[in-house]
Structures are given as C-alpha cells and as structure tokens.
C-alpha cells in the first residue's frame, strides 16, 4: 500500500468512527430496519446525483444487478441491521472491539475461499491490531464481554459479513465495473431490498414523520458522509489494494474516535489509550511489511560490514 492508500484508510476510519456515534443517537428513536432503509435510500440518491454529474450510468444487465444485490446484502443490509440492533444492547466500545475482528475474518476467508496464501505477517498483524483495540478501549469496554450474548454475536456476524463482502467485491473489477458505479449500484440494490424489512416494523412511517430534527440530522450524517462519500473512497481503495488491506480500517476506527474526542471534546487520553494505539500501529506495520524489510536489510548490511561479505539482502514479503 502506498502513502496515499494509507491516508485514505485513515480518512475512512475517521468517517466510519462517526457511524457508531450516529447509531447510538438513533438506537432509541427509530427501529434498526427503518434506520438502515433511510440510510441506504439517502445515500443512493446522493451517489446517483454524483454518478449522473460524472457522465456515467448504471449497467442494465442482469449479471451486474445480481452482483449489486449480493454485495448490497453482505455489505449493507446484514451488517448495518445487526450493528444498529446490537448498539441498543451493548456499548459502542465493546462493539468497536468486536468489529475489529473483521481483518482476521478477511485474512482467513481469503485463504480458504480465494486461494490467497495465509501469510504469517498478516495473521500476526491482525492479532496485534485486535489486541491493541482491546487495550485502547480499556477493561471497562471488555467488562461485558460474553460471546453467548446475542448482541455481541450480532456484531461478530456483521464483521464476518463485511469480510465476505470485501472478497465478493473483487468481481466488479473483473466485470469492468468502475468503483463509483459499483458503489452506487450496490447501494441502490440494497435500498430496494431493505424496503420489506422496514415496512414490517409497526408504525415505521409514523416514527419517521414524528422524528426530531436531531434524529434526522443523525440519519443524514449516517447516510451522506458515513455511507455515500465513504463508499466512493472504499470501492476505489478496494480496487487498488484488495479486501484484506481495506478491512484494516476497523482497527483504525477506534483510534480515530479517541483522537477526535481528545481534539474536539477535550477528552483526556490515558496511558492505556497510548499503549493500545502503539500496539495497533505495530500490528499495521507488521502487516505492511516495509518496516520488517528495512530492518532485515539493515541487519544484513551490518552483518556484511562485520564479515566483509557482499550479500543481497532479503526483501519483505508484502501485498503493498
């Protein structure tokens, strides 16, 4: 991954860090299926406007729309609904920790479903990252951890769904579908599919018509920056660096949330927060591989100076 790719990943983590905040606001106001439907509908309209302004259009073939529908279910309907439901029952900190399992699912699934070699640096780095998130958020967030709890299992299922979506999205490049078109198409398909569960909620329309201005602002925040804009970045990055790299965003999201709180809300960072961030960044460095490659080169060069031999230094094994 290039420096530009890493910067986009960090930006995505900042944007998606806000989604947990918006979900928390909406948790008691609107039922999860209705929240998901409005989020997808508003985001679809926004990207349709962008798509039209760019001179592009959505494909009409059945194959493309089947792919959009599958992607929409895996990437939007299933995880959005599960996380929105879980946020009513568990804290955002614990949800962030459970959601940080996404890269681990992605690494394992990529190995078994797409033949991608399970590299030690990826597995170790993802494990470091998950441990770092747990340290970052502290023992209070982990206090309620119970993997027999349905809400916690729901977040894990959402993470699994996200990782499956990342692997499935590879086919859009093979089909010749541009990232902006893929982002718009899967949002439109999932918006249509989410109508049925939303209508099944009693008094769904009444809840929306009587919603406060704050509720609608939270819905707009969830739909526009956290979905429409984020997916333009996400699908572009996915096409360049692949799903296992993109899923690293879930490790950075809690870091971004804490950093924003410190910068704009005056929240204090604890030594545990700093240690957690350091562990996460160590995990990302292990996955990236360039730091390890530089260390190997330095060690080899130092050894050569001592022995007087000329040896070609080993290079890091990365997917950058």
pLDDT in tens, 86-138: 888 877 777 877 888 888 888 888 888 877 777 778 788 888 888 888 887 77
Whole-number pLDDT of residue 7: 93
Q: Return the closest-CA partner of residue 33 out of 95, 91, 92, 77.
A: 77
Contact call for residues 109 and 242 (beta carbons, < 8 A)? no
Q: Where does the pLDDT of residue 193 fall: very low under 50, low under 70, confident under 90, or very high at 90 and above?
A: very high
Mean pLDDT score of the chain, rounded to an integer?
84
Max mean pLDDT among 13-22, 79-88, 272-281 falls in 79-88
Residue closest to 230 by CA, chosen among 88, 22, 63, 1: 22
Q: Extract the tokens encoding 18.
A: 């806000």
In sequence order, which residues have a C-beta less than 8 Å from that of residue 36 and are 6 or more positions away?
76, 77, 80, 81, 84, 194, 197, 198
* pLDDT value at 230 more than 90: yes
pLDDT tens per residue across span 237-247: 998 988 888 88
Q: Where are the domains of the chain?
A: 3-288, 295-320
The pLDDT-based confidence of 158 (bands split at 50, 70, 90) is very high
Tell me if 141 sits within 8 A of 93, measured CB to CB.
yes
What is the predicted pLDDT for the residue at 317?
47
């Amino acid at each position: 991954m290039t420096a530009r790719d890493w910067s986009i990943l960090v930006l995505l983590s900042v944007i998606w860090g806000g989604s947990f905040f918006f979900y928390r606001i909406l948790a008691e106001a609107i039922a999860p299926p209705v929240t998901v439907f409005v989020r997808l509908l508003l985001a679809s309209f926004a990207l349709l406007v962008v798509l039209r302004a760019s001179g592009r259009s959505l494909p009409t073939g059945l194959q493309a729309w089947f792919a959009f529908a599958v992607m929409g279910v895996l990437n939007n309907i299933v995880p959005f609904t599960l996380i929105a439901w879980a946020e009513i029952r568990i804290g955002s900190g614990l949800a962030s920790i459970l959601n940080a399992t996404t890269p681990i699912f992605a690494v394992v699934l990529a190995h078994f479903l797409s033949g991608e070699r399970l590299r030690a640096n990826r597995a170790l780095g993802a494990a470091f990252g998950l441990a770092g998130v747990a340290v970052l958020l502290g023992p209070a967030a982990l206090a309620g951890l119970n993997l027999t709890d349905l809400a916690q299992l729901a977040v894990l299922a959402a993470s699994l769904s996200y990782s499956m979506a990342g692997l499935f999205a590879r086919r859009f490049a093979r089909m010749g579908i541009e990232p902006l078109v893929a982002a718009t198409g899967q949002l439109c398909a999932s918006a249509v599919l989410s109508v049925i569960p939303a209508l099944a909620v009693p008094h769904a329309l009444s809840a929306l018509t009587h919603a406060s201005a704050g509720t609608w602002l939270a819905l707009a925040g969830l739909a526009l920056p956290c979905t429409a804009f984020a997916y333009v970045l996400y699908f572009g990055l996915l096409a360049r660096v692949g799903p296992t790299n993109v899923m690293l965003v879930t490790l950075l999201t809690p870091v971004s949330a804490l950093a924003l709180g410190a910068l704009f809300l005056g929240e204090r960072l604890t030594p545990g927060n700093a240690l957690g961030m350091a562990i996460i960044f160590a995990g990302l460095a292990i996955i990236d591989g360039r730091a390890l490659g530089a260390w190997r080169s330095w060690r080899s060069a130092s050894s050569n100076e001592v022995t007087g031999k000329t040896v070609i230094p080993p290079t890091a094994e990365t997917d950058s």
